[in-house]
A and B are shown apart, each in its own frame.
Chain A
Amino acid sequence: MLPILNKDCIVTDVSAAEKNDIIREMAGCLDRAGYLSDVEQFYQDVLEREKVFSTYIGYQIGLPHGKSGGVNEAGLCIAKLPEEILWDEESGEKVSLIIMIAVQAETDNNLHLQILSKLSRLLIHDDFRDDLRSGDKNGIYELIQTNLKEFDK
Chain B
Amino acid sequence: MKIVGVTACPSGVAHTYMAAEALAMAGKDEGIDVLIETQGSAGIENRLSKADIDNAVCVVLSNDVAIREEERFKGKKIIRMGVSDLIKKAKPLVKKIKKTFE
Contact = CB atoms under 8 A, between A and B. Distances in A.
B11 A121 contact: no
Interface in A4-52: 49, 52
B1 to A, nearest CB: 21
A103 B40 CA distance: 13
A63 B22 contact: no
Question: How many A residues are at the interface, by size bracket?
Answer: 20 to 34
Question: How many B residues are at the interface, by size bracket?
Answer: 20 to 34
Contacts of A125: 21, 25
Interface in B19-71: 20-22, 25, 38, 40-42, 64
Interface string A53-70: 111111000010111000
A120 B17 contact: yes
A143 B35 CA distance: 28
- Chain A at the B interface: SS class: mixed
Given A113-B41, A114-B42, A54 B84 contact: yes
Contact of A121 (B21, B42, B64, B84): B21
Contacts of A113: 13, 40-42
Contacts of B41: 67, 103, 107, 113
B98 interface: no
Nearest to B20: A121
A32 to B, nearest CB: 22
Contact of A110 (B15, B20, B25, B42): B42
Interface string A92-119: 0000000001010001001001101110
B18 interface: yes
B82 A101 contact: no
Contacts of B96: none
B88 interface: yes
A55 B88 CA distance: 12
10 contacts: A53-B82, A55-B14, A57-B88, A63-B15, A65-B11, A66-B11, A67-B12, A117-B38, A120-B13, A120-B16
Q: Pick the 7 closest A-B CB pairs, nearest first.
A: A121-B21, A120-B17, A117-B17, A113-B42, A124-B21, A120-B14, A67-B11
